[in-house]
Structure 1
Amino acid sequence: MVAAWSPSGLAGPGWSPSASAAPPVRPPQLGASAAPTGEPPGSSGPVLSRSEPVQVAIPTIGVRAHIVPVADRDGVLEVPPLDRPELAGWYRRGPTPGEAGNAVLVGHVDTQDGPAVFFDLGRLRPGDPIRVTRADGRVAAFTVTGVGAYPKDRFPTERVYGGGTEARLRLITCGGRFDTRTGNYPDNIVVFATAAR
């Protein structure tokens, strides 16, 4: 489901205004074992060396956004600042886009002022292209393989953060119907992509 904008929608993956809100996205502990990612082995394109991402382009939904590094604090995935809703965040404790494993980008769905960077993420379909420009000047090209909506308390952690020998990309934002009682979205939208051949 594509998240609808709400006038009080200060939401992003892991954003929680109260203790009663659904549990946020939680990256696995460092050293966690890899798990199947959902894509068939050998379906990915070339693997690149480590280089931080600087921009993501998703032509299908008109996204061209700068990327800032984010981490996790007390097991909760950070997101870009709410006053910069046009930015995407890269989970810096994981692989960089194009490197072996699952690189993770996060972004807000909306703010009080309107749609944010990943507002239309749920419109992506298998086959859609995603391009990530890296600090080394190379562009890591990906192809969407699937899109899912998951309740935050049943987030597919291993499928999103799991390792492997192939280059994959995960995009995350909030989804579902905005809950005015908790000030949060109940779901996460996750886009799964593999390096283009």
Structure 2
Amino acid sequence: MPSSQPADEFEFQDLQDFQEAEKQKKRAPWGVMALVLLTGLALIRNGSGEFDVGPPQPASAAAADRAPDAGDAAPVPLTFSPAERVRIKGIRVDAPVIQVGLDSEGWVDAPPPEDPNLAGWFTGAVSPGEKGTAVVVGHVDNQRGPAVFYGLGSLKKGNHIEVGRADKKTAIFEIYGIEVFDKNKFPGKRVYGNSGTPELRVITCGGGFSKQSGYDGNVVVFARLVAVR
């Protein structure tokens, strides 16, 4: 999923400036981004796909239902804190997380493709563990081979994703669905919509592949917060 687009610079060069600014205005990216997302111009693009065996794709049985209700056992939502690391034991992922925004064409930017073990937290959304839907993205492959989220489509409902945060807390999410969506029909509202509870989406490229246009879809993992440590 290498991208030809240069990474956008983060609007704030200093985290303290960012946090201070956020105290003065509500972070509400989906209102601004809705038109972009709902026309399908939402995600990272152009995986290499040039390997003997392509990345695993989600089974139809893994399609997301409505997020399970955790009831009284649901953790209290966390406050804002940047994501720093993502761990997915089921596919042997243990990767640092950098901050990413939107590129010049309105797509969610991706981490530099040269580093295969690197994920990106989209700063336009909530941080993982806050009330709302956090978004983590990463490459499926690069020109040299599989990358951080190559195995994403093989995950199953009930698997856990751990996100380490700058405040030293770890938000633990349980997967309740994995699907692949055509980029030209990407259901932005369904994927990014706020359920009123802390949720996480992990996204990479998937679906069919051509040398002309790269991957034609995106694999999306749906998960909800189940624990904090």
* Pairing partner for 2:181 from 141, 145, 150: 150
Comparing both structures, which one devotes a greater share of its residues to helix? 2
Which residue of 2 is the match for residue 24 of structure 1? none
Give the letter aligned to residue 65 of structure 1.
A
* Pairing partner for 1:114 from 128, 138, 145: 145
SS in 1 for 2:189: helix
* Pairing partner for 2:93 from 38, 63, 74: 63
Equivalents in 2 of 1:71, 1:77: separation in Å?
Answer: 6
Equivalents in 2 of 1:28, 1:186: separation in Å?
Answer: 23
SS in 1 for 2:209: coil
User: TM-score with structure 2 length normalisation?
Assistant: 0.69
Equivalents in 2 of 1:51, 1:104: separation in Å?
Answer: 14
Shift in Å, 1:84: 1.7
Q: How does 1:92-131 map to 2 (within 5 A)?
A: 92-131=123-162
Which digits, 9 at most, give the CA deviation of each residue in 1:69-109, with x for residues without a partner?
A: 00113421100011122110000010000000000000000
SS in 2 for 1:30: helix
Which residue of 2 is the match for residue 4 of structure 1? none
Question: RMSD in angstroms over aligned alpha carbons?
Answer: 2.3
Equivalents in 1 of 2:131, 2:108: separation in Å?
Answer: 21
- Is the aligned partner of 1:162 residue 2:196? no
- 8 Å contact from structure 2 (residues 98, 118) kept in 1: yes
Unaligned runs of 5+ in 1: 1-10, 18-26
Q: Looking at CA atoms only, which structure, 1 or 2, has the larger radius of gyration? A: 2
- Is the aligned partner of 1:173 residue 2:201? no
Equivalents in 1 of 2:175, 2:209: separation in Å?
Answer: 26
Q: How does 1:65-80 map to 2 (within 5 A)?
A: 65-73=95-103, 74-80=105-111
Equivalents in 2 of 1:150, 1:31: separation in Å?
Answer: 19
- 8 Å contact from structure 1 (residues 28, 157) kept in 2: no
User: TM-score with structure 1 length normalisation?
Assistant: 0.80
- 8 Å contact from structure 1 (residues 170, 191) kept in 2: yes
- 8 Å contact from structure 2 (residues 129, 198) kept in 1: yes
Shift in Å, 1:31: 7.7
Which residue of 1 is the match for residue 48 of structure 2? none
Which residue of 1 is the match for residue 67 of structure 2? 39
Task: Label 1:169 to 1:153 Cα distance change in 2 as closer, same or farther (>3 A).
Answer: same
Unaligned runs of 5+ in 2: 6-28, 35-64
Task: Label 1:45 to 1:155 Cα distance change in 2 as closer, same or farther (>3 A).
Answer: farther
Runs (4+) off by over 4 Å: 40-44
Q: How does 1:12-27 map to 2 (within 5 A)?
A: 15=3
Which digits, 9 at most, give the CA deviation of each residue in 1:150-172, with x for residues without a partner?
A: 00011121122212321000000
Q: Report the number of matched residues.
A: 172
- 8 Å contact from structure 2 (residues 164, 171) kept in 1: yes
